[in-house]
Structure 1
Amino acid sequence: MTARLSTNLLPIDPTTCRTEPRTMPPAESRVALLEELRVARAGGDSDQLHTTLDRWSLRPLTGGRNNHVYVWDDPHRGPTCIKIYYRVDDRRRADREWSTLTLLAEHGVTDVPRPLWIDRNGAEPAIGMSLLDGVPLLQSPNLPAALKNMTHTVQRIQAVPPSGLLAELDRIDSIAHYAFRLTELWPGQLAEYPDDPLTADMRQLLAAWHGSGDRELIRQSAPYVLSRGDANLLNWLVLPSSSGCVDFEFSGRSTVAADAADQIEHISSRDVPDDVWYGLLGDLGVDRTNTPQFRAAQRTCALRWLAVLWKQRGRRAEEFTRQLERVRQLQSTESPWRL
């Protein structure tokens, strides 16, 4: 049975499968929704899940890797984004996102979702937040202007001092983690494929990174800033007069130089011409004081993505080849990005 959500909710009676209209206050309504949604998801029955989504007027959104995201027409608050974190581990994604959205709201940062509630009940925590509705940034007819607005939003986020949990945790996939992957993980993975025709090239690029001094440069101390943690441009939307972003589950502390490099070298940024990024370096906080750290982080980020795509080179051959060319370009003495 389907019922559009209103102030008269129709909760299912599990013993009779009948429904009885009943007015629920906001908190009780949300708890009932989450309980029913969790039961439907845990059951693995697609029909039951579809019925639950339809009954509560929930619309699934795409894009979640470690969670499921829905739009709920909350009768008390209007369109609400609900994120359920099905992957729970020591990375504390739900806590990071809730802490960041709360902190940004306290400092008056707009163009990001507004936190509404958090539910830590059960094995799958959930967060409710306002719905940020806009056009995907990469589909903007004026991409340079959208990216310029994106940097302004980044500036506002970075201007908020990390506090509480966010002052204690590095962002997920930090520059230090990238270096760890290149130093401790990838060499062992390459060793498992000694006869692969690509292994020698990968080892050569890795040796060049080790000999460049980049690892030492990215270790130099710098002031911490609040970081979104996820540089994927798919998380950015073009709003009427700005660019806004969603997904703060990787957030934590970072540095301006590391985040600027991670943004430019994220694989979602490869279709943005380098001359556009050159023009945005100042807006991303790169200046003569941190340029060496930025360049080192840039080469580190590019090589890290090569390591990621190397593991998937069979099914993502075109992306791997493109990233291989990018790393070679950045490591070349003739690269326009070189000091």
Structure 2
Amino acid sequence: MATTHGIAIGAASVTKRYRSWDMAQPEREWRALTLLAEHAPGLAPEPLRDGTAESPPAVTMSRLPGEPLSAPLTDAQFAALVEAMSVSQTAIPAAVLAALPSRLLHPLDALKNLRAWSERGRPPSDALAAEALGAARGWLRRPALDAVFAAEPPPVFGTGDGNLANFLWDGSRVRLVDFEFSGRGDRAYELAEVAEHVSAKGVLDPGTLLGRFELTPAERARLPECRRLLAVFWLLALLSDDPDRPRNPPGTLVHQAGHLLTLL
């Protein structure tokens, strides 16, 4: 898979040098680091050097200690993950959040992209995957989904990437990295993005994670549709995987197909 940036790691700093700035990824990264340093100090790397105007653009930040979360999670790691997610979403004041651009892959954009993506390619050879794809196509065609995902719930800060590799455990707390897709988001979608990310399979139970957050009735009603949307994304992503160079363990596609059918 092509990456959006290269990384140079020093003794105390990390520099991300971007290959593209079409979607303002460097500015999003720098803005996120700056805001989190002000409103949630210690949660993310400190911004050290703004090279977003360079060609190619770059962002230099402090190097954090720790290792990505992986199975089996201890109770302390799980509690620290919940704390880090909650703080990252709520620490930035509402007035500042309101002025932020929407995160990349806004739910409505994701819906439109998935509708087109789901109709491309050959039918999968695996029977369960084929059944899940058919169910996904039927769900994506529901007109009511446009109104669901066009809604703008009360904003939270969205990191833009639910990969557990972006949650670093240093022995006492979890900290966050990687904000190139960040921006204004909504709580249900941000929580679903972590719960449904393929990196969470076998590491944490989605229901257990989501049950640790107090949601409003509106957020709780929105959450299942957000989970389905992101589960469809991962089904399509796994169907697009190169069988000769798989990025995920054997059985991941079949597991995702069964999981999606359960959600639908």
TM-score, L = length of structure 2: 0.85
Instruction: Give the RMSD, CA atoms, in angstroms.
Output: 2.9
Mapping of residues 23-42 of structure 1, within 5 Å: none
Which among 219, 228, 231 is matched to residue 299 of structure 1?
Answer: 228
Residues 209-267 of structure 1: CA deviation (Å, up to 9, x unaligned): 43494454333331111111110001111123211111111111110001111110010
User: CA offset at residue 185 of structure 1?
Assistant: 3.3
How big is the shift at 1:110?
Answer: 1.8
- The letter of the residue matching 2:70 is L
Q: TM-score, with normalisation over the residues of structure 1?
A: 0.67
Query: Which structure 2 residues correspond to residues 266-305 of structure 1 after superposition, within 5 A?
Result: 266-274=197-205, 277-305=206-234
Q: Which amino acid aligns with 1:203?
A: G
Q: CA deviation at 1:168?
A: 4.1
Count of residues paired in the alignment: 257
Measure, in 1, the Cα distance between the counterparts of 2:26 and 2:223: 29
Say yes or no: does 1:330 pair with 2:259: no
3-state DSSP class of the match of 2:241?
coil
Q: Which residue does the alignment assign to 2:112?
A: 180
Q: Hey, what does 2:7 align to over in structure 1?
A: 69
| Alpha-carbon shift at residue 103 of structure 1 (Å) | 1.0
Which structure carries more relative contact order (alpha carbon 8 Å, separation 6+)? Answer: 2
Deviation at 1:89, TM superposition (A): 3.0
Q: Deviations over 1:293-320 (max 9, x none)?
A: 0001001110111111112263446322
SS at match of 1:138: coil
1:205 is the counterpart of 2:143: no
Asked if the contact 1:235–1:246 (Cα under 8 Å) also holds between the matched residues in 2, the reply is: yes
**Comparing 227-236 with 209-218, which one deviates more in the overlay?**
209-218
Aligned partner of residue 61 in structure 2, secondary structure: strand
Q: What's 2:23 paired with?
A: 91
Shift in CA distance, 67/200, structure 1 to aligned 2, threshold 3 Å: closer
Note closer, same or farther for the CA distance 1:321–1:280 as it changes in structure 2 (3 Å cut). Answer: closer
Which one has the largest radius of gyration?
Answer: 1
Q: Mind listing any 5+ residue stretches in structure 2 that lack a counterpart?
A: none
Q: Which residue of 2 aligns with 1:29?
A: none
Identity %: 27
Residue pair 2:98, 2:184 contacting (<8 A) in 1 also? yes
2:10 match: secondary structure: strand
Between the aligned partners of 1:287 and 1:143, the Cα distance in structure 2 is 28
Partners of 2:49 and 2:239 in 1: CA distance:
40
Correspondence list, 1:18-57, <5 A: none
Q: Which residue of 1 aligns with 2:158?
A: 227
